[in-house]
Structures are given as structure tokens and as C-alpha cells.
Structure 1
């Protein structure tokens, strides 16, 4: 059994989608980011960085894993799925996983901050992070022109990227003209485990459909603004 400590964010969805894809039993423990629950001493004992997600593998002496990319690798290696066992295949998956961890996630995250949450509209910052996110999308599109999935076979690299790229409207970044990326987005959305995983611990449609007047959108923005101000 896996204990999953998470919230409705792209990084949180990586863990829940992977757990659903792998068919591993897990218990969800929602973390209230707006109430700073991730900074409580009990949680910091599991994740010293005070972020989500974190998993605790109860079948492995209560082994805790933090950082979403590390969680994906751990789950893939635990099950022998979603990542090849040969050195080259494994490296390809990890290369694309690191591309998300070091590029797509941080750039879209900063686009969100300046486009959605920051109290002042600093247009050069908005342009910088939206343009860089679009450039990274173009890199993904180029790879997906050659491969059905990012690293050949379906893998944790696809999960990591999809959980972020699916929210491109929230970041104010277009995927227009990126036909291979759009094909991949549709293929990911068609997977039952993906659809179920992104509803953990709650469904937040506004991050995908950009429905700014929805009540959950306003609540999400208030929560994010609190975090930005800390």
C-alpha cells in the first residue's frame, strides 16, 4: 500500500496518474496548501522541502519518497513498468523526464505566477516565461513528430509532461500549430488511468479549460496567491 500526500497541481497529478497506470493500491491524503499544511513538522519529517507530492511505501518499511520525478522513477523501478530496464532505454526516459523537471515545469510555473497570481502585471516577465514555455512545447512537438510517445514506448516521461502541458491555457501558452503535440495530448487524455489520476485529490477543470469565472478557479487563485506571497 502506498500513502500519497498530494494536492490538485500538475506535480501532484504525476504521482496519482502513475499510481493509476501501475494499478498500485494507494490511500490519498489531501494536503491543504492554502493552510500551509505542507510546512507542518509532521509533513516535513516526510518531505524536508515542504512541497507536494510525497509518497510513503508501507510495503518497504514506510519508505518515504519526495520530489515528483523521484517518485515516478521509484514507482517505475518498483513495478518494472513505464521505464525500460536496458541502460539506453532507461536513459532516454530519464532524459525526457529531466526535460520536464528542469524546463517545462519551472517555465510554466513561472508563467502561472506572473500571468495569474502576481499582484502586479509585469509584462516582460509574462512574455519571457510564456515564450520559453512555447519554445519547449515546440521541442516536444519535434520529438513527437518522430515517436508516438516521448521516449519510444509509453513511459513516466509522458506522464510527467502531460500533467503540465494539459494546463497550457492556464499558463496563457498556445499549442496552436503543434499538431504532433496536440495528437499526443489527445492520446494521453484518452487513457482511463490519466483521466482518473488528474481528479486526485479533487477535480479542478479550470486549470485545463481556463474557465476564469468558475468558483474553483477563484479558490485556486486565492490559494496560489497565498503561496506566492510567502
Structure 2
């Protein structure tokens, strides 16, 4: 029996949950080390990931410490998916899967993240930035919509790690674009059906139950901000105030 893989995360962000989904789908033992976003650039986490971004893993079975969610996913598939449950063995499909994973890492994640920043978190509304990143979100989704025409999955005839890598960010389209939840998949029915196939799986439901619990433990809203905080500037001010309070030996609430 493999020893549990340690998954370091601040629970609000989408990227750690991509890794958790893979672990759940492959039935790999794991344990979560949950900490506040305030501490992503502090020890002990910065010793694991000098870039100060979540997630990172420590695998006691191989002695490997690894960060970047895409690299972690590739590692888990190579090391643990011996039955090819979420991948394929042939050279064409295997590299096509990596192609879509790279598209998620270079396209969906960064552009969705910037759209969320300028729509939700940034205190100043900058129309040109909002238009730029909202347009890119829709472009990314149009690429996926075309790929899924007449298909259930991105590559081949089964769910793979490539499909799962997109689900956490797609689940936040409404929050990212500031639209009604029932409208987030308007005009992209293939993406909608694909997304619903994945969010109906036990792995997703368990991951989101765990996320809700960890978020509640830290007193966080859906967007990762503490309750009562509305944008990143307010959050950074709170982090600074809390640090000063700790330095002065005061209680931090």
C-alpha cells in the first residue's frame, strides 16, 4: 500500500483541486496540508516551492517534491496510472493529451485568472483590461467547443487527465465573467455537457465537499477573500495589519 502523498494547498484557488481530482480518480492515498493564502510566500511552503504558488506535493514513496499543477498531473499519471485509466499508451493519443494539458496551463488558467482579477478582485475597474481578458476567456471556450463537437472527451473515447485539468476553472466561468450561473455556458453547449459529465463524478463531489470544509475553517468567501473583504487591496491591508498585530503580540482575528 502506497504511503499518502502530501498535497500542500491554500484551498480557494482552482489549481490544487485539479491535482486532487486526479488523486481521487486513481484512488491514490493523499493528505492535504491546508494553509492560508497569506503564507504562500513564507516558510515552510516557500522551501517546497520557491515560486510561492500552490499546489505542491511531497511523495514519500519516491522522495519527490514537485510544484506546478501540470507537472504534478503528468507525474501522477506516469508514476501511478499503470492501468491507463486516465491516459493512453500509444504515442499519438499520449502526446495529444499533453497538448491539451499545456493549453490548459498556458491558455485557460492564465486568461481565466486575469479575467477574474480584473472583474472581481482589482479595486479599480479598467474597461480595456476587462474587455481584453473576457474576450480571451470566450476564445478559449470556443476552442474547447469546437474540439468537443460530436465528441464526449477531448481525446479518444474516455475521460482523461486532459479533460479533468479544465474542470476547476470552467466551474468558475460565472464568477470570472460576472454573469448569472445559469448563463455561464450560453452558446457553448458542448462545453456545458462535457463539464456536467465531469462534475457528476464522485471525485468532483468529494473534492468540492473537502474544499467547502477547508474554506469554512478559514472563514473564506467563494472568491478566497475573508468574509467582509471585497478586493485584493483590502485583503493585502488586512494581511499587513495581522502581521503587525502578531509582531506586537496582539490577537489576530
TM range (shorter): 0.7 to 0.9
The match for 1:160 among 160, 165, 184 is 165
The number of equivalent residue pairs is 219
Instruction: Note if 1:42 corresponds to 2:49.
Output: no
TM-score by length of 1: 0.87
SS of the residue 1:145 aligns to: coil
Instruction: Note if 1:117 corresponds to 2:96.
Output: no
1:96 deviates by 0.5
The structure 1 segments of at least 4 consecutive aligned residues displaced by more than 4 Å after TM superposition are 226-230
Q: Distance in 2 between matches of 1:164 and 1:227?
A: 24
1:216 deviates by 2.1
1:200 deviates by 3.6
Residue segments in structure 1 that go unaligned for 5+ positions in a row: 206-214
Who is 1:141 aligned against?
145
1:108 deviates by 0.5
SS of the residue 2:44 aligns to: helix
Tell me: higher relative CO, structure 1 or 2? Use CA pairs within 8 A at least 6 residues apart.
Answer: 1
Structure with higher helix content: 1
1:127 deviates by 1.1
The 3 A distance-change label for structure 1 pair 218 and 158 is closer
Residue segments in structure 2 that go unaligned for 5+ positions in a row: 238-253
Instruction: Note if 1:194 corresponds to 2:199.
Output: no
The match for 2:174 among 157, 169, 173 is 169
Who is 1:78 aligned against?
79
Trace 1:3-22 onto structure 2 (pairs within 5 A): 3-6=6-9, 7-22=11-26
TM-score by length of 2: 0.79
Who is 2:244 aligned against?
none
